[in-house]
Chain A
């Protein structure tokens, strides 16, 4: 039997499986959770994985498996909200800058440069500091530091596509600019956008967990991964398990999105346009 080409790409398959598993765990968390997320059990603190507690328990004896799959809901929600919005904003800016050129391009790209000029973690922290915590505010902060990648990549792609014969032909036939932008150019930029979005989900998870690690994420008892890890560090000398398992959860998630993004790039974007802005 012939294996379809996408399935022969190891990055795509491994990344896809990790992401699929995570999404299923998050969606079915209420069914899959074996214990209450915030019910303490002081006799069972820091227990190691067992049949009763699949991944052990934390400093208050709460079941880690249940807390981590509920944490996945938060990380993935923030990831999806921020990545879709950032992609929308960035794509709009990139299309406009690339297609219209001139002073519009100049202005939009200078604004993009300004936002790229701030170290991401620092700007996120500052925005969360003024807005306060919350899913929407953290997402807004992540959007502010990530939309630039889409803008740069979509602009670069648009610049190339604008000069293609089929676009020139559409223009010669009298197509209006919205029609050219949305019917002729946009569909051809989707490949790089999907690649960036996959990598961007990893970035969003890293930033979100960094915020909650520092204590500026969603307030307890929300079981965010970063906060669980942060709590683990207080007991790290005697009970390293808590830190190891929560950090590993974050890493595997990010790894999944990165592998998926790399795999998608091999398939969707053979000319590697999304390299322009990837890996910030």
Chain B
């Protein structure tokens, strides 16, 4: 296990270097002079020259790349061009909201996906199976922003059950408030996060459900499941204790990969539900072509995703000895 963990951690290094290179490369893609593009047509030559200097654009690319690495190693992502603040500070103020949304969506999609998949598998060929898999096909095909709008229309506008936009108290604080005797704070946070998280979760829930169904169908045909039935165990016990535990293994690695899709989808969902996270920040940074901020955001998203995958891989290795020994 130690060898596996070490190998997996070492793999992060080339990965992170590659990500920094790609993020840096974005700047090289800008057609023409980035400084002139950033300042717009009204800018005077002096202003452009000043910005070129502060962005270090007059140096050759390898010097700039080296400088970028050096900067990042010191936790410095540069300064935003339009908001007079360091990129890292701006991102730090937003990252919690996005992670909260993505984590809740991940939990929801796992819960919905596994339930649908198991139900479909144990009733293979029944109407339940058909309906679940039809739902899954729709869930895979539905654009996340459209589902968000439909949910908002149904549950916030028409029925008025849930708030349509915004975020309640951040979850950690809300949980603390609930523990200290103010459950209504937590309830408020939950009502705010429910719709955006559900919209975000649908796509992944659909993919997970299809995977769980396939995986369950395979496991249910195994000898040890037949043995369990032969021992006279009840069906629920066999399904949950014997089949599901084994069927979930391949699902675990996919759940990690889904986190990347959830982070990307969060950009769209945050726009619709006015969720104050990195997604909204991405939108405004892209609208203003605030390059240092865009670079910082892209890199942050990639690093979160890489860390989540690391955790999932380690979990996987902890559960499945074939991985850590193989």
What is A's interface to B at a CB cutoff of 8 Å? 110-111, 113-123, 125-132, 202, 206, 209-210, 213-216, 229, 233, 236-237, 240, 243-244, 247, 250-252, 254-255, 258-259, 279-280
**Could you say which of B26, B260, B268 contacts A126, with CB atoms under 8 Å apart?**
B26
Beta-carbon nearest neighbor of B263 in chain A: A119
B261 CB-CB contact with A under 8 Å: yes
Given contacts A117-B306, A233-B149, A280-B261, contact A251 B143 (CB under 8 A): yes
Q: How far is the CB of B218 from the nearest CB of chain A, in Å?
A: 12
Given contacts A127-B29, A129-B286, A132-B31, contact A114 B19 (CB under 8 A): yes
- Kindly list chain B residues whose C-beta atoms are within 8 Å of the C-beta of A279: 140, 207
B233 CB-CB contact with A under 8 Å: no
**Could you say which of A113, A229, A252 contacts B15, with CB atoms under 8 Å apart?**
A113
Given contacts A113-B15, A255-B141, contact A120 B286 (CB under 8 A): no
B225 CB-CB contact with A under 8 Å: no
Stretch with Cβ within 8 A of A (4 or more), from B54-62, B118-126, B167-175, B297-305: B297-305
- Kindly list chain B residues whose C-beta atoms are within 8 Å of the C-beta of A202: 141
Other than the known A117-B309, A259-B137, what 12 A-B pairs have Cβ atoms closer than 8 Å?
A116-B260, A117-B18, A118-B301, A119-B267, A121-B267, A122-B282, A123-B298, A214-B283, A233-B149, A236-B153, A243-B146, A255-B141
| SS class, residues of chain B in contact with chain A | helix
Query: A116 vs B305: C-alpha distance in the bound complex, in angstroms?
Result: 10
- Kindly list chain B residues whose C-beta atoms are within 8 Å of the C-beta of A111: 18
**Could you say which of B29, B144, B264 contacts A119, with CB atoms under 8 Å apart?**
B264
Q: B15 and A128: CB pair below 8 A? A: no
Q: A122 and B301: CB pair below 8 A? A: yes
What is B's interface to A at a CB cutoff of 8 Å? 14-15, 18-19, 21-22, 26-27, 29-31, 137-138, 140-146, 149-150, 152-153, 157, 207, 257, 260-261, 263-265, 267-268, 271-272, 282-283, 285-287, 289, 291, 294-295, 297-298, 301-302, 305-306, 309
- Kindly list chain A residues whose C-beta atoms are within 8 Å of the C-beta of B301: 118-119, 122
Q: A280 and B257: CB pair below 8 A? A: yes
Q: A118 and B302: CB pair below 8 A? A: yes
8 A-B residue pairs with Cβ-Cβ distance under 8 Å, sorted by A, are: A114-B19, A118-B260, A213-B143, A237-B157, A244-B150, A247-B146, A254-B142, A258-B137
Query: A51 vs B194: C-alpha distance in the bound complex, in angstroms?
Result: 41
Given contacts A129-B286, A255-B137, contact A122 B18 (CB under 8 A): no
Beta-carbon nearest neighbor of B140 in chain A: A258
Q: How far is the CB of A165 from the nearest CB of chain B, in Å?
A: 27
Q: A121 and B141: CB pair below 8 A? A: no
Given contacts A119-B263, A125-B286, contact A113 B26 (CB under 8 A): no
Query: A239 vs B150: C-alpha distance in the bound complex, in angstroms?
Result: 13
**Could you say which of A113, A130, A251 contacts B146, with CB atoms under 8 Å apart?**
A251
Q: A243 and B141: CB pair below 8 A? A: no
Q: A126 and B141: CB pair below 8 A? A: no
Query: A215 vs B283: C-alpha distance in the bound complex, in angstroms?
Result: 10
Query: A143 vs B138: C-alpha distance in the bound complex, in angstroms?
Result: 25
Q: A250 and B31: CB pair below 8 A? A: no
Beta-carbon nearest neighbor of B288 in chain A: A129
- Kindly list chain B residues whose C-beta atoms are within 8 Å of the C-beta of A127: 26, 29
Q: How far is the CB of A185 from the nearest CB of chain B, in Å?
A: 27
- Kindly list chain A residues whose C-beta atoms are within 8 Å of the C-beta of B268: 121, 210, 213-214
- Kindly list chain B residues whose C-beta atoms are within 8 Å of the C-beta of A126: 26, 286, 294-295, 297-298
Q: A129 and B294: CB pair below 8 A? A: yes
- Kindly list chain B residues whose C-beta atoms are within 8 Å of the C-beta of A114: 15, 18-19, 21-22
Q: A122 and B141: CB pair below 8 A? A: no
Query: 9 shortest A-B CB distances, which residue pairs?
Result: A121-B264, A114-B18, A247-B146, A119-B264, A255-B141, A129-B286, A254-B141, A119-B263, A119-B260
- Kindly list chain A residues whose C-beta atoms are within 8 Å of the C-beta of B153: 236, 240, 243
Q: A251 and B142: CB pair below 8 A? A: yes
